[in-house]
Amino acid sequence: MKKFKFKIQKIEPHQLTDRLLLINLYLTQGLTLVAALVWILFQHRNPIQLLELSGSWNVIYWGAGLAIVLLSADLLISRVLPESSMDDGGINELLFKGRPVWHIVVIALVVSICEELLFRGAIQFAIGPYWTSILFALIHVRYLRHWFPTGWVFLSSYGLGYIYIQTGSLWAPIVCHFLIDLISGLAIRFRQQKG
């Protein structure tokens, strides 16, 4: 019988192949989804009910509204701060440059649903938006080397938690998270295409 060995090691972004990057992305999102479902079930809550559509456009307004505010602020800040202060190690560039638009949409959708189900749906229910936002910033490890992106992820997460509380629907933060990831991914893809 063949033995399988798993070795965890740190690699630099330039060492990542596209295939390895996508495997890592979808594997971590799958684990995030499983963790969310288990945690929600341990809370004696129904994950299906958390994802029910309310039929109200309110969640779209809150989600899109916060996305517009955060993307606009990010654009203004990026004009003031040096690019090096926003460096994520090149991961976002590797992930989105040259990626087909349909795949950017899929990535944004998968990430927004999995992460919001865990962070707003499970963790925020247990410990509130402040501590959830700290955890959310910490899992975005690639930003921890610079103070501004870490703070920005924290504030964005707190905003996602706020609109979840205001609407009572997980779809408001999912819509916001999806739009931010989609627009950011498309901006990277088309900026790279021009260059």
One-letter amino acid for residue 115 of the chain = E
Our CA dihedral for 142, 189, 69, 91, rounded to 10 degrees, sits at 0
Quickly state the pLDDT bin for 87 (edges 50, 70, 90): low
Higher pLDDT among residues 165 and 145, named by residue: 165
The answer on pLDDT for 180 being more than 70 is yes
| Burial per residue of 105-141, b for 16 or more beta-carbon CB atoms within 10 angstroms, e otherwise | bebbebbbbbbbbbbbbbbbeeeebeebbeebbebbe
24: nearest Cα among 157, 142, 113: 142
| Burial per residue of 9-29, b for 16 or more beta-carbon CB atoms within 10 angstroms, e otherwise | eeeeeeebeeeeeeeeeeeeb
Which residue has 């399988």 as its token pair?
A: 4
How does DSSP classify residue 67? H
pLDDT at residue 149, as a whole number: 80
pLDDT average, residue stretch 4-26: 75
Q: Which residues contact 148 (CB under 8 A, 6 or more apart)?
A: 77, 81, 85, 86
The answer on pLDDT for 114 being more than 90 is yes
User: How many Cα atoms occupy the beta-carbon half-sphere of 44 within 13 Å?
Assistant: 0
The answer on pLDDT for 1 being more than 70 is no
Share of the chain above pLDDT 90, in %: 66
Tokens of 165: 């509380």
Quickly state the pLDDT bin for 65 (edges 50, 70, 90): very high
pLDDT average, residue stretch 18-32: 94
